[in-house]
Structure 1
């Protein structure tokens, strides 16, 4: 039996999977690292921590492996998007990485819109200027740390730096480049126009590579540190959402992914870069060859449920918290929740809007509030699905992963609100599995990612929409959409009183 390793470099930890030729996860190791927040709105990490913990995780995988290291043929990567890693002429780190959830760059986003123009930016990058993307971070460093910026030779994203330290080869794949705002998504090349307009030297943009392409082999240093052989092949890998799509079988039209973690993502496969969503959703290059995906984001998805549990329900487990939800009817007995705890991304891109419970009654019990939180999160995700459908996309099959796939009541709720068939996978590993699949295909185990998915991914349960509930939720969704416009001014006024 042969094996590959999938490395998923997340925001809080790196997760490493050892996967065999049948798609079985033989072992998995998680190694955490710290978040650095020097002040409000700042979010940074040390790239050296990523490397150290990745190497330690691989070493543990190899040490616990019963077979010969030669049976582990390849490695590939998934990584947190948008993070900025700046390197000097020796490819040494110049500062801590600025992460995707760092919000210090509002002024830089305004500057990008003024310099490039919103329409031109959308035409080239398929995305609007948001604080999370990489280009605003580059401009922030240029403006606030000019002496350091003069020493910048190149920049990469988080998993690219880890791959560089493992191989000595420096690249960025298309799916991660698409999240920089410097990349022409359709042409799959760095945009000279944008670089010129924002006064960034295009020479600092790294070499590009497709996610499935082979980069090289691990170095002798890494081989000694991990126990792997120097002949272990390394493949480029992709952005976490692109790899999550691969690891969930989102590899053809009509297939959509709903991933509910701290934030929530609805992601749908696209065959071309020609569709125009007017910036209402993100539009990125897929990790699959010559493909794309559209994506909407709910900032506080699982975070809303965690916040409610920790604030109002001192219950040890989420299973216990959700235990009574099944007894509550559709609409939570007239209670509605909007999950804007940290603002909202899709479709509003508003960092100032805040959450609401609407319709609170003295008869409401804990389980009513819990169900309303679940419904509110799902309504927010449905905003993205509505945009897809309004632009001619067929969304009839949705693979649900993450926290939202661990409760049957919530899965049925997704089927009813999305009005689509919901699939729960028997083994749900998301981005890490996608990275492993890229390595498996790269090693020649399969002719295509679709063929790999047929072997690696198995359906566990299917939830069909309940027609009666679909009708009720359509009415409730209209009410939900009214809350945003009705509370914008109120939240602007209340913001003055926040400390």
Structure 2
């Protein structure tokens, strides 16, 4: 008997995963991944070759199909890393590489021209978020100022999603979530923002048509040169974090669940029914929102952008060993009791990080523990913001992504957050969420709730330990004071 499944192509910032997700239990039956290079042609530039991105996905699809047995594929769908842009000519051919969020181009423009033209309140009112350095609009303004001939030759401003759709022989469409991640989309009117486009001197046609995330945009029987065993409907897919919220339970209506998707970024958030602009409702909560994957939904989330990067920095620069065995050794020796004098500032963007309370008896293990504590303090700040915005109760957090592999980090989350934390059985929540949305679209399930009952499962649960949680409550207050005293903005010394 063949197993009903969805083929998910999940594009991350460093690699692509192709997963065959079983629709009746949410398990990944087959999976292949392939890395692509992150290029830096100049200091501060961060790019991916679009052809390499595409070919990596083609190769993974081939490798999965070569080993796949007893599977009935019902659709193909996608999950994409967001906040990227590629300039393309009139035929859709790349004029640049895919430029990533942390590329420095546009930094001065975000702080200068954009800041002069749009107040934070105005920009939040349009896009749901503030205009910061990772936004694509300032990057386009950089090209207009510094590469005017290239800018004039540009017919389209693609995301990775549009590039993949074009390579499939389909229209280079945006879904609502990826359009929002261009930060030039009006989240209320659901159209490209006339004030932002006028300021940049570009047209809506250059950014592309926008459709719901579960739209079937065509049918394919080949992926690149690879023949598929079925003619599959193509569901356009969405931003990885947003479909990931469904994979982490935070898209289930009336569930009281907040999702935590861990990785390079640590995202906490939820899907709300109806239109929400969290930034205009409560700017101090630091939770922002935009169009969700389903019609009449909103994504509400906050993020700490360097969570995974700080951990990688520690392993590379302090421990000089990024091997899986080295990670395992650090976690094996880690003890989180809340009684250490060390404080770690993880705000590494702009060289603002710091380590405080060092003494001659402190060890690498102590530094590791302090770093992990600080990252968990930051996620608590986001969680508290979510609770200010979310309607109804918020009594538990479901966790997926890389950090969910550590039982100790799950328990630390419960102790610092002061709430129940549950780890997903399948931590590849973006792929599972994308498959869940696709399964509902092709009518294998009636609705999100019924799909979630079958496809989402909890591996284990963690409750706060009162004594340890009380100590962390005090240390968390000390951490907030450390940040509020200007260390986050001024930097500090180690």
Fold similarity call, TM over 0.5: yes
- CA distance in structure 1 between the aligned counterparts of 2:153 and 2:65, rounded to whole angstroms: 38
1:211 aligned counterpart, secondary structure: coil
Residue 422 of structure 1, CA deviation: 0.6
Q: Deviations over 1:303-354 (max 9, x none)?
A: 323322333335633121111223x5213x211112122x2xxxxxxxx352
Residue 388 of structure 1, CA deviation: 2.7
Matched, 1:232 2:239: no
Do the aligned residues in 2 keep the contact of 1:184 with 1:191 (CA within 8 Å)? yes
Question: 2:352 maps to which residue?
Answer: 354
What is the count of residue pairs matched by the alignment?
480
Question: 2:58 maps to which residue?
Answer: 55
Question: 2:205 maps to which residue?
Answer: 203
Query: Closer, same or farther in 2 for the Cα pair 1:288/1:420, shift >3 Å?
Result: farther
- CA distance in structure 2 between the aligned counterparts of 1:161 and 1:339, rounded to whole angstroms: 35
> Structure 1 unaligned runs (5+)?
344-351, 495-499
Matched, 1:318 2:327: yes
1:2 aligned counterpart, secondary structure: strand
2:133 aligned counterpart, secondary structure: coil
RMSD across aligned positions (CA): 2.3
Residue 207 of structure 1, CA deviation: 0.5
- CA distance in structure 2 between the aligned counterparts of 1:382 and 1:74, rounded to whole angstroms: 37
Do the aligned residues in 1 keep the contact of 2:176 with 2:210 (CA within 8 Å)? yes
- CA distance in structure 2 between the aligned counterparts of 1:356 and 1:277, rounded to whole angstroms: 30
Residue 490 of structure 1, CA deviation: 8.5
- CA distance in structure 2 between the aligned counterparts of 1:493 and 1:65, rounded to whole angstroms: 53
Query: Closer, same or farther in 2 for the Cα pair 1:438/1:164, shift >3 Å?
Result: farther
Q: Which one of the candidate residues 319, 342, 345 is aligned to 1:338?
A: 345
Residue 376 of structure 1, CA deviation: 0.6
Do the aligned residues in 1 keep the contact of 2:246 with 2:433 (CA within 8 Å)? yes
- CA distance in structure 1 between the aligned counterparts of 2:356 and 2:270, rounded to whole angstroms: 31
Matched, 1:146 2:148: yes
Output aligned runs, 1:18-167, within 5 Å.
Answer: 18-22=20-24, 23-67=26-70, 71-109=72-110, 110-167=112-169
- CA distance in structure 2 between the aligned counterparts of 1:372 and 1:493, rounded to whole angstroms: 16
Residue 297 of structure 1, CA deviation: 1.8
> Structure 2 unaligned runs (5+)?
none
Do the aligned residues in 1 keep the contact of 2:267 with 2:304 (CA within 8 Å)? yes
Matched, 1:404 2:407: no
Matched, 1:309 2:343: no
Moved more, 445-454 or 13-22: 445-454
Do the aligned residues in 1 keep the contact of 2:244 with 2:430 (CA within 8 Å)? yes
Do the aligned residues in 2 keep the contact of 1:441 with 1:449 (CA within 8 Å)? yes
With the length of structure 2 as denominator, give the TM-score of the two structures.
Answer: 0.91
Do the aligned residues in 1 keep the contact of 2:11 with 2:79 (CA within 8 Å)? yes
- CA distance in structure 2 between the aligned counterparts of 1:489 and 1:297, rounded to whole angstroms: 16
Question: 1:245 maps to which residue?
Answer: 245
Do the aligned residues in 1 keep the contact of 2:73 with 2:230 (CA within 8 Å)? no
Residue 177 of structure 1, CA deviation: 1.1
Q: Deviations over 1:105-136 (max 9, x none)?
A: 11221212222332211111111001112212
Residue 491 of structure 1, CA deviation: 4.2
2:453 aligned counterpart, secondary structure: helix
- CA distance in structure 2 between the aligned counterparts of 1:59 and 1:238, rounded to whole angstroms: 23
Residue 202 of structure 1, CA deviation: 2.5
Matched, 1:261 2:263: yes
